[in-house]
Chain A
Amino acid sequence: MSILTAHQVTKRFGGLTAVSQLDLNIPERSICSVIGPNGAGKTTFFNCITGFYRPEEGQITFDGHSLVGLSPDRITRLGIARTYQNIRLFANLTAIENILVGLHPHLKSGMVGSIFHTPRNRREEAEAHAEARRLLRFVGLTGKGDLLARNLPYGDQRRLEIARALASKPKLLLLDEPTAGMNPRETADMTAFIRRLRDELDITILLIEHQMRVVMGISEQVSVLDYGEKIAEGTPVQIQNNPQVIEAYLGRGSASA
């Protein structure tokens, strides 16, 4: 059963077609990867799913809802969360505040409740703080919650970004190059962590990744984009032996050589 279905999605920027008639099915509780050379349209496709861009053609369906034309906040409320290729934390807020912002869709307190600290508001805030601390623990940042996000080391920032995304209790998590800039050891940790997200929290994961070790290690389905088009799809083993993929990555002639 697919949780996310993209059908004939096309996104153009002026004359440039960044994503072209893309079809994609993401099975529920799977870990899927989108790979492809730089400029292949991977992040653009992410932006189409999350509502940052509106595709010119095609349909994206998530959990029975059509996503095209919805604003990013509506899409988040449906259960999709994401991280960014270049980390985009709220730099001047503390780690725990970042997570609390992520909890936003699940809190209800309004102006009056917040000003007068009504019992309901107090309970909600206490629960939100407890949940935020739990998420900090889950991503291994216990004790660093009161540091400003911009002062955290790089690896911790990546983890915090995931914690913030998890705060919205997503069914589908989009990770845009989660191991970019990490050393092999950190990469291995992150890979294990991503698997834990799926196994323990039942979250479907779609990731963009360049490190083949990560992609081939954890993906159940790999889709390859090149110039906005999907050129291949399958299990890691199938992809590794696909001549078209090798050509896209290494250039013409390599496949036969």
Chain B
Amino acid sequence: MKKEIEFRSRNAIRVGLVGGATALLIALVGMVEAFADRYIITGVISMGQVLLFSSAFVVGYYAAGRTTSDGWQRRVWNAALAGLAAGAVLAGLVLLMETVDLRPVLVNASPALLEILTFGLDTLPGIVLLLVVNAVVAALACLMVLLPARARRTVMTGLGIVILGGLLQDILRLALAGLPPVATALAWMFAVAGQTGLSVAGATVLFAVVAGGNYWWADTGPRFRGRLRELPPQSQRNVRLGSWALVAVSLLVLPALIGTYLSDVADTVGIFMLLGLGLNIVVGFAGLLDLGYVAFFGIGAYAMGVLTTTSGQIVFAPQLTFWQALPIAVAVSILAGIVLGIPVLKTRGDYLAIVTLGFGEIIRILALSDWLKPYLGGSQGIVAVAKPTVGNVVISTPQGFYYLIMIGCVIAAFIAIRLKDSRIGRSWMGVREDEDVAQAMGITLTNTKLMAFATGAALAGLSGAIFASKVGSIYPHSLTLLISINALAIVIVGGMGSVPGVVVGALALAGLPELLREFAEFRLWVFGAVLVAMMLLRPEGLVPEATRRRELHEEEILGQLEPIVEAEPVSTAAADTTS
């Protein structure tokens, strides 16, 4: 942390005012009032209050953290001052609302909001209390800064989980209804008849369990990991295999537990994950900024539609089965990837982005056009797209598609990981880093870029084909620019070029909006805020691309290559002759 500039009271007030402005915004967009009855802990604190006072907490934490002087008094003073400044902004709002009726301009400046801000008291005592609460919240935040690191982590994690638990109660209950003991525990934690939110006892227990677990893991975790590292390689491998098996099993039983609605959410996440994995090859590996990625998704979806539809509304309808159509759909997408790739090979960076953007729109407009209406159905799209069958069973439920999509994602991730660490992957990354130099290293740009486009298109086509079958129809208006943007956001938020990043990014970007349903009409507002925060806090992505160790872990590489240890002498002999 930079310590050259003394953090004075003046700075604390300034920070507090910024926080106050944030709280003001949250109040005036109506979130405070809308969530006033939505309790985090029943009867104690509502989501509205959490939202209102979170900015005091943040500014208090920030001000205390930035204060450089040694004494704790100075930190508490700065934090409280920042909180007071934040409160003063809200107090100003209260005074304004008392004297002028703001509602004609600001719809949400309602009497109900006023009552929340003044805690139901008269103006003067209300304002005083508002200021005091803000200052106290900020001072509490300062306490967090003063705590030793381990205790701070413990308390913050506990608080965070309690708030998250209260916030996501509906989803939690829905998600874990399939696990009877957990469901019972949850029912107890949330058990206040007719009210939302955790019960006081439930919140206390949740906090104690989470904070206690965190405290315990803080020194057990590293010790545990240390012991794992000391194990012989064979056992380490077993442990790794075991944990993978555990992940696999929980992924397999997941849809049975979470029910139809959340399985459907998982399907959406999976379809975007497939898109992200494909786009990651084009953008993350090869550095080719493609803004028209939806085109390949659309081509895959329409190929599946045309080949399998039984509606009788389009001219050419061979009525294939899903499994017959799937490889054709992927092949058509690959072909489209190459066809698009050839003309845009010479363009770079921003220009490439614009050209691909155009391509995405062309595909959508073609699908919508009267010209192709006999074949693609125009604005009516294609309905009655075949569902996949396994044996005699038709897959039609979200749970069924979950497995199909998951297999797709596993294959896609496998391909991406293998390719990344290969001659082709390295040439992609060379092109990404410096196209001219890559070419001077003997990399043929045409082939390399076309391969990236084709692989990316294949995965997008797969994603589109599954999507069309899952929904049972495909329309031109499903192929919006937003899909390209979302896929790109998944890659960027996850971490460019990182396969685990795409998985996390898809969960965050396609899953989060569903979880945020709690925020009702403020969903996109919060989603945007979360995105901005993520990019500010982790610009390199949630799971940045890891640098592989290749030189010093040679035993690992050779370990993977056991069958050809005989090849070693060959290469050393070659080395001897040349050096």
Could you tell me which A residues sit within 8 Å of B by CB distance? 50-52, 71-73, 76-77, 81-82, 84, 88, 90-97, 100-102, 104-105, 107-111, 114-117, 119, 121-134, 136, 138, 143-146, 148, 164, 168, 200-201
Q: How far is the CA of A95 from the CA of B552 in the complex (A)?
A: 12
Contact of A130 with B571 in the complex, beta carbons under 8 Å: yes
* Residue B441, interface by CB 8 Å: yes
A114 to chain B, nearest CB (A): 3
Partner of A84, one of B437, B554, B561: B437
Q: Given contacts A73-B445, A97-B429, A129-B557, is CB(A146)–CB(B551) below 8 Å?
A: yes
Decide if the interface of chain A is mainly helix, strand, loop or mixed.
helix
Residues of B within 8 A of A138 (CB): 579
Contact of B550 with A114 in the complex, beta carbons under 8 Å: no
Which B residues from 542 to 579 make CB contacts under 8 A with A?
Answer: 547-552, 554, 557-558, 561, 563-564, 567-568, 570-572, 574-575, 578-579
Partner of B438, one of A50, A101, A123, A143: A101
Contact flags (1/0) for B414-453 with A, using CB distance below 8 Å? 1100110011111101100110111111111100000100
A92's closest neighbor in chain B, by CB? B433
B445's closest neighbor in chain A, by CB? A73
B416's closest neighbor in chain A, by CB? A115
Residues of B within 8 A of A119 (CB): 563-564
Q: How far is the CA of A96 from the CA of B563 in the complex (A)?
A: 24
6 smallest CB-CB distances across A and B, nearest first, come from A145-B551, A114-B422, A105-B442, A90-B433, A76-B442, A130-B571
In this complex, the member of B430, B570, B574 whose beta carbon has the largest number of chain A beta carbons within 10 angstroms is: B430
Contact of B575 with A131 in the complex, beta carbons under 8 Å: yes
Contact of A131 with B442 in the complex, beta carbons under 8 Å: no
Contact of A104 with B418 in the complex, beta carbons under 8 Å: no
Q: How far is the CA of A146 from the CA of B552 in the complex (A)?
A: 7
Q: Given contacts A92-B433, A134-B579, A168-B442, is CB(A129)–CB(B567) below 8 Å?
A: no
Contact of B564 with A76 in the complex, beta carbons under 8 Å: no
Residues of B within 8 A of A131 (CB): 571, 574-575
Q: How far is the CA of A110 from the CA of B440 in the complex (A)?
A: 20
Contact flags (1/0) for B122-153 with A, using CB distance below 8 Å? 00000000000000000000000000000000
Contact of A90 with B434 in the complex, beta carbons under 8 Å: yes
Partner of A127, one of B443, B563, B570: B570
Residues of A within 8 A of B561 (CB): 122, 125-126
A120 to chain B, nearest CB (A): 10
A202 to chain B, nearest CB (A): 10
B565's closest neighbor in chain A, by CB? A126
Residues of A within 8 A of B558 (CB): 126
Residues of A within 8 A of B439 (CB): 71-73
Q: Given contacts A52-B440, A73-B439, is CB(A123)–CB(B567) below 8 Å?
A: yes
Q: What are 7 A-B contacts with C-beta separation under 8 Å?
A: A88-B434, A90-B430, A90-B437, A96-B551, A114-B424, A136-B551, A146-B547
In this complex, the member of B424, B442, B455 whose beta carbon has the largest number of chain A beta carbons within 10 angstroms is: B442
Contact of A96 with B550 in the complex, beta carbons under 8 Å: yes
A164 to chain B, nearest CB (A): 7
Q: How far is the CA of A145 from the CA of B419 in the complex (A)?
A: 21
Q: How far is the CA of A111 from the CA of B415 in the complex (A)?
A: 9
Contact of A82 with B440 in the complex, beta carbons under 8 Å: yes
Partner of B571, one of A77, A84, A122, A127: A127
Q: How far is the CA of A92 from the CA of B440 in the complex (A)?
A: 18
B569 to chain A, nearest CB (A): 11
Contact of B550 with A115 in the complex, beta carbons under 8 Å: no
Partner of B441, one of A117, A134, A168: A168
B331 to chain A, nearest CB (A): 14
Given contacts A101-B443, A114-B422, A143-B551, 18 further A-B contacts (CB under 8 A): A71-B439, A82-B440, A96-B550, A104-B423, A104-B430, A104-B442, A107-B423, A111-B424, A115-B418, A115-B419, A122-B564, A126-B571, A130-B571, A130-B575, A134-B579, A143-B552, A146-B551, A200-B579
Contact of B578 with A201 in the complex, beta carbons under 8 Å: yes
Residues of A within 8 A of B564 (CB): 119, 122-123, 126
Contact of A73 with B443 in the complex, beta carbons under 8 Å: yes
Contact of B440 with A101 in the complex, beta carbons under 8 Å: no
Residues of B within 8 A of A101 (CB): 426-427, 429-430, 438, 441, 443
Q: Given contacts A73-B442, A130-B571, is CB(A109)–CB(B422) below 8 Å?
A: yes
Q: Given contacts A102-B441, A104-B441, is CB(A72)–CB(B436) below 8 Å?
A: yes
Residues of A within 8 A of B438 (CB): 90, 101
Q: How far is the CA of A209 from the CA of B564 in the complex (A)?
A: 45
Residues of B within 8 A of A84 (CB): 437
Contact of B567 with A127 in the complex, beta carbons under 8 Å: yes
B439's closest neighbor in chain A, by CB? A72
Residues of A within 8 A of B557 (CB): 126, 129
Residues of B within 8 A of A136 (CB): 551
